[in-house]
């Protein structure tokens, strides 16, 4: 074949393929692109209890290198994973310093809170901590197992996907290598909460009919900026030092790190001190052992301080007295409302009168020993994991603090908890290559146990600020509370057997088969054990003889996987039910009674899923363009969940296997080296896109809807059950008095679903039967990244996008009480209905009211969840080699980063100016709250901590 023609063909094909990327990728061919086809990617990925060449992987596995993750400076490596991998959705549960992140791999499978988290495996052993407990400087790679054929090896713990973290180790014979990584910077408000100023609130009160007049601390010429008095930029800093090296027989890696983050909210901060140790030692030719330890000490202060109170303060009120001193309280809205002055100075001046702190120590330790047996390729390995975490928390609120009553009694509380976790794994591995045949087999027996102990007590009328929460016994005996339900001791255990065999022939045909059995202590007798198989197949067509003439194709692999996994999505003793205690008066004696809080279920069994996964992996143009396309379908049966019971029964709930849930979807990942000139300009880019459809298939009750629990067949787990807002009632609209008796124009208009009389009039008024099931899940979402390099400079960016879905904002909805449109407290700055301004979204002030305040006010919280945003932009410079040699350094990189810099598109951002990504739960106290029209574990945009935009400067050096 004519080589010049082939080169032109490859060039044209690459332009076409890269045009699919949103960045409009271009291509520049160099002599390096003519490398022979035999040069294949020999990338190795971690697959669980072993590694495998990426070319031979048959399951759904996504990999991200540690140096890529470190392009995003953060104390929690989970944030750096955002937008990097198709099918992995990462969200904030809180914007408080040190807060954890929520990770969902291919959707939500379980209705049980916290039962959808993936398993984290650190250096081959299941890890009970979070990704935030692992230093980003220490991570070599993260591999994510997504389908059942890949995760089945981890059994029930891997039911929601597995995140495999491999840390850096020293190298045999390596001289000591020192590293220092640091960044520091300032956090600023991403945007202010969109609240009214003084003149706008005064006009709102007038438009509402002057329901509320001025309070004694309000004047019409006052315009207090409460947010300015409360929020201010805050610092964040991180330091990490490490040393790694090796001897002829072993290696080591030791590191220390420190991180501190202050909040924009006063007296709120987080500190973390970390120590990590990794050792490996070869003894003779047949035996080696190793040890890994990660220890963290954390201090968190001010978690109870919130942002919501300051947002509701009237801007017409002045917090200062005439002499410049700060008032203790302010009276507003015809003196109906009186509130403690909640500004930065008052909080900072509290001193010993207020404390809210938590101190935690966690130590995760792994020890292994491995021996090569006399049979070639056969090894035995013993893994032992010993983990311990403890937390001590305390809070104290002095006399009159946060209270309009200056004599309100002081209160305090103290809690502590300990978690002990152990893991024991016995592994027998056989790995051998016979000509074109490669065999790998693993057999495992494992056992693990977990014990959790916690205690909490509280007291009132603490006699002195000096005692705070340290000596609650000084309070009067009658004011000390030690509730039985606050003293907890639980244990759980798991025993497992597993076998896996992998076979590859001639790097063309691959098959993997896994069988695992788990026995869980938390399930009912007779249902404790479950066995589940998995199988996956792969065919690398690129290695077939008939593909050799297609020089542009380096990899073209088809994959199919089927497997079953299980989930023990319940806590210990759920099968036995729980009791509560309540005090009551019997005659003249105070005594305590016992009642059933949750009913027992002696038949509680496993929640299990079956997954089919189809995949295509490809590499084109000497692997300048690589990608993956996957389709999956997961059906989860016997879903476990607490079920709310009728109040009249006297029992709150019972845990049942309640039904079936399905997740299915598509994933596409593309990565391209567009221009590759190490001595000049280079350009790399990647994009991932995924769409997941989640729905409840069936409920075991036989019904199609369970309103009390917000479960609806044919709809996703996080569906909203509420009225559908279709605008506002306008002058001349028909049937207002029939559909809304006593209603008025300007009020929220919702969809009527009832029938009509012969004359066309509605047969009834709008009522609860008109509520709609609204699916909240996005149509599709994903992320993108680009990296530009010119000589020693580099510019990188990471972004994310989402199309569709419902964003819930408590700021605009009735649950946040900031959009009541009465003028009683401050209101979100909205364009509301007046006779002169009727074509708007928000209702007439002071209109018809209800528990929603205004009527149907909850519907104002729902927005189109679409967005396109940049998450980080980083500009870095790597010091030239001649300067490095003069300084006796291996590398030196300095960089500046902006996080959360820009929202390019978002209906919610356009309305509010705020970050369109959720930052809190709807209700963090319980799984389901029937007073909410949505699941209370639903992620929403709340008011406690605002989103931030951070400006950071950092350095990475090694010598």
pLDDT, tens only, 21-56: 433 333 333 333 433 333 444 678 888 888 888 888
The helix (H) or strand (E) run that includes residue 53 is strand 51-53
Q: How confident is the model at residue 936 (pLDDT cuts 50, 70, 90)?
A: low
The structure tokens listed for 26 are: 């271009």
Residue 424 · residue 447 · CB < 8 Å: yes
Is 12's pLDDT higher than 50?
no
pLDDT on residue 305: 87
Alpha helices in 651-719, H assignment, sequence order: none
- Residue 830 CA to residue 196 CA, distance in Å, equals 8
Give the per-residue pLDDT at 33. 40
- Decide if pLDDT at 743 tops 80: yes
d(CA 697, CA 692): 15
User: Could you tell me if 631 and 680 are in contact, meaning their C-beta atoms sit under 8 angstroms apart?
Assistant: no
State yes or no: pLDDT of 20 exceeds 60: no
Q: What mean pLDDT value characterizes the chain?
A: 88
Q: How many CB atoms lie within 10 A of CB 910?
A: 12
- Upstream peptide bond of 191 is cis (omega within 30 degrees of 0): no
907 φ, ψ (degrees, to nearest 5): -60, -40
**pLDDT-wise least confident of 61-70, 507-516, 627-636, 916-925:** 916-925
Residue 667 backbone dihedrals phi, psi, to 5 degrees: -135, 140
**Would you state the pLDDT for residue 788?**
95
How confident is the model at residue 568, as a pLDDT? 82
Q: How far apart are CA 153 and CA 423, in angstroms?
A: 16
| Per-residue pLDDT, 933 | 79
Q: Which helix (H) or strand (E) holds 867?
A: strand 867-878
- Of 853, 806, 813, nearest to 830 by C-alpha is 813
Q: 769-796: per-residue pLDDT in tens?
A: 999 999 999 999 999 999 999 999 999 9
Res. 602: pLDDT tops 90: no
Over residues 485-492, the mean pLDDT reads: 90
pLDDT of residue 113: 65
pLDDT tens-digit series, residues 112-169: 767 888 999 998 888 888 888 888 888 999 999 998 888 888 988 888 999 999 998 8
**Which tens digit of pLDDT belongs to each residue from 385-435?**
999 999 999 999 999 999 999 999 999 999 999 999 999 999 999 999 999
Start-to-end C-alpha separation, the chain:
51
- Residue 86 CA, chain-centre distance (Å), reads 15
| SS3 of residue 98 by DSSP | coil
DSSP state of 186: E
User: Looking at the chain, how many residues does it have?
Assistant: 959
User: Nearest 5°: phi and psi at 473?
Assistant: -65, -15
Cα-based distances in Å from 345 to 222, 232, 234:
20, 12, 15
For 190-318, strand residue ranges (E) read 234-246, 250-262, 269-283, 287-301
Percent of the chain at pLDDT > 90 equals 65
The pLDDT confidence band at residue 918, using thresholds 50, 70 and 90, is: confident
- Range of lowest pLDDT (198-212, 300-314, 568-582, 723-737): 568-582
**Nearest-angstrom CA–CA distance, 389 and 417:** 8
Task: State the pLDDT at residue 42.
Answer: 61
The pLDDT, as a whole number, for residue 922 is 62
* Three-state DSSP state, 816: helix
SS3 45: strand
d(CA 277, CA 293): 5
Checking if the pLDDT of 16 tops 50, the result is no
pLDDT mean over 919-932: 52
Answer for the pair 938, 919: CB distance below 8 angstroms, yes or no.
no
pLDDT at res. 19: 38
Residue that the structure tokens 């935009």 belong to: 949
Pairwise CA distance, residues 443 & 716, whole Å: 38
Question: To which H or E segment does residue 505 belong?
Answer: strand 487-505
- Which pLDDT value is given to residue 613? 95
Give me 955's structure tokens: 């350095």
The CB-side HSE value for 160 (13 A sphere, CA atoms) comes to 25
Interval 918-927 mean pLDDT: 56
Query: Strands 640-644 and 653-657: what pairing?
Result: antiparallel
Whether the CB-CB separation of 891 and 848 falls below 8 Å is answered with no
Q: What is the CA radius of gyration of the chain?
A: 30
H or E stretch covering 892: strand 891-905
CA distances in angstroms from 482 to 152, 473, 479, listed in the order given: 44, 11, 10
């Amino acid at each position: 074949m004519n080589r010049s023609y082939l080169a032109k063909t490859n060039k044209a094909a690459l332009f076409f393929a890269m045009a699919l990327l949103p960045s409009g990728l271009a291509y520049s061919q160099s002599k390096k692109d003519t490398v022979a086809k035999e040069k294949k990617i020999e990338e190795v990925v971690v697959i669980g209890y072993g590694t495998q060449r990426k070319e031979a992987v048959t399951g759904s596995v996504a990999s991200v290198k540690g140096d890529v993750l470190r392009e995003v400076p953060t104390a929690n490596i989970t944030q750096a994973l955002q937008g990097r991998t198709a099918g992995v959705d990462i969200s904030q549960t809180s914007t408080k310093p040190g807060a954890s992140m929520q990770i969902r791999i291919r959707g939500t499978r379980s209705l049980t809170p916290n039962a959808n988290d993936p398993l984290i495996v650190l250096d081959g052993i299941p890890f009970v901590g979070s990704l935030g407990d692992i230093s980003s400087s220490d991570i070599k790679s993260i591999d994510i197992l997504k389908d059942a054929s890949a995760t089945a090896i981890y059994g029930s713990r891997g039911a929601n996907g597995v995140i495999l973290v491999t840390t850096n180790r020293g190298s045999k014979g390596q001289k000591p290598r020192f590293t220092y990584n640091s960044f520091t910077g300032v956090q600023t408000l991403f945007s202010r909460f969109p609240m009214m100023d003084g003149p706008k609130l005064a006009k709102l009160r007038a438009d509402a009919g002057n329901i509320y007049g001025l309070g004694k601390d309000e004047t019409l010429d006052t315009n207090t900026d409460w947010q300015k008095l409360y929020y201010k930029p805050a610092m964040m800093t991180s330091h990490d030092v490490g040393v790694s090296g090796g001897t002829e027989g072993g290696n080591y890696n030791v590191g220390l790190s420190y991180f501190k983050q202050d909040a924009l909210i006063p007296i709120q901060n987080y500190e973390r001190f970390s120590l990590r140790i990794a050792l490996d030692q070869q003894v003779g030719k047949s035996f080696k052992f190793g040890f890994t330890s990660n220890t963290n000490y954390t201090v968190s202060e001010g978690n109870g301080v919130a942002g919501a109170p300051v947002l509701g303060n009237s801007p017409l009120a002045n917090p200062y007295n005439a002499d410049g001193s700060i008032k203790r309280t302010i009276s507003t809205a015809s003196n109906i409302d009186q509130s403690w002055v909640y500004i930065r100075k008052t909080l900072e001046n509290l001193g010993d009168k207020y404390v809210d702190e938590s101190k935690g120590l966690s130590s995760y330790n792994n020890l292994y020993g491995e021996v090569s047996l006399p049979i070639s390729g056969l090894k035995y390995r013993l893994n032992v994991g010993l983990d311990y975490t403890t937390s001590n928390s305390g809070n104290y609120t002095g006399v009159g603090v946060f209270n309009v009553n200056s004599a309100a009694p002081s209160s305090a509380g103290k809690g502590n908890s300990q978690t002990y976790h152990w893991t024991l794994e016995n592994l027998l591995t056989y790995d051998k290559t016979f000509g074109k045949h490669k065999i790998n087999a693993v057999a495992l027996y494992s056992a693990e146990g977990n014990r959790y102990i916690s205690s909490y007590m509280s007291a009132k009328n603490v006699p002195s600020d000096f005692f705070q929460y340290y000596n609650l016994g000084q309070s009067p005996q009658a004011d000390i509370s030690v509730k039985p339900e606050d003293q907890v001791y639980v244990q759980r255990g798991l025993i497992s057997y597993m076998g896996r065999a992998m076979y590859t022939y001639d790097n063309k045909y691959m098959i993997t088969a896994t069988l695992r059995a788990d026995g869980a202590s938390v399930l009912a007798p007779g249902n404790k054990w479950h066995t589940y198989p998995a199988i996956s197949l792969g065919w690398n067509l690129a290695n077939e003889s008939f593909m050799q003439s297609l020089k542009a194709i380096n990899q073209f692999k088809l994959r199919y996987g089927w497997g079953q996994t299980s989930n023990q999505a319940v806590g210990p003793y759920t099968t036995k039910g729980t009791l509560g205690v309540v005090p009551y008066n019997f005659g003249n004696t105070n005594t305590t009674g016992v009642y059933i809080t949750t009913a027992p279920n002696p038949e509680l069994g496993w929640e299990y899923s079956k997954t089919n996964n189809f995949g295509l992996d490809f590499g084109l143009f000497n692997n300048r363009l690589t990608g993956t396309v996957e389709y999956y379908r997961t059906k989860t049966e016997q879903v476990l969940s607490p079920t709310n019971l009728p109040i009249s029964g006297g029992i709150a709930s019972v845990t049942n296997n309640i039904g079936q849930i399905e997740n299915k979807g598509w994933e596409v990942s593309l990565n391209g080296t567009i221009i590759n000139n190490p001595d000049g300009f280079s350009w790399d880019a990647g994009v991932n896109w995924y769409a997941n459809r989640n729905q409840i298939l069936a409920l075991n009750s036989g019904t199609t809807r369970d309103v009390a629990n917000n479960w609806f067949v044919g709809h996703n787990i996080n569906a909203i059950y509420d009225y559908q807002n279709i605008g506002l009632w306008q002058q001349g609209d028909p049937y207002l008095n029939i559909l809304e008796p006593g209603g008025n124009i300007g009020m929220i208009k919702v969809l009527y679903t009832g029938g009509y009389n012969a004359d066309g009039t509605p047969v009834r008024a709008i009522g609860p039967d008109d509520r709609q099931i609204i699916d909240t899940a996005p149509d599709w979402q994903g992320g993108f990244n680009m990296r530009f390099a010119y000589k020693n400079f580099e510019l990188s960016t990471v972004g994310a996008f989402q199309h569709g879905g419902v964003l819930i904002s408590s700021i605009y909805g009735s649950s946040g009480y900031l959009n009541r449109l009465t003028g009683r407290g401050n209101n979100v700055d909205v364009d509301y209905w007046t006779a002169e301004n009727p074509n708007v979204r928000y209702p007439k002030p002071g209109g018809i009211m209800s528990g929603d305040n205004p009527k149907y006010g909850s519907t104002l919280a729902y927005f189109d969840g679409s967005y396109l945003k940049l998450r980080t932009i980083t500009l870095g410079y790597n010091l030239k080699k001649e300067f490095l040699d003069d300084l006796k350094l291996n590398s030196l990189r300095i960089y500046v980063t902006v996080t959360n810099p820009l929202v390019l598109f978002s209906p919610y951002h356009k309305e509010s100016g705020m970050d369109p990504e959720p930052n809190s739960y709807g209700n963090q106290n319980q799984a389901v709250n029937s007073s909410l029209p949505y699941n209370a574990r639903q992620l929403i945009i709340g008011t406690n901590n605002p989103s931030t935009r951070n400006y950071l400067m950092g350095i990475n050096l090694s010598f």
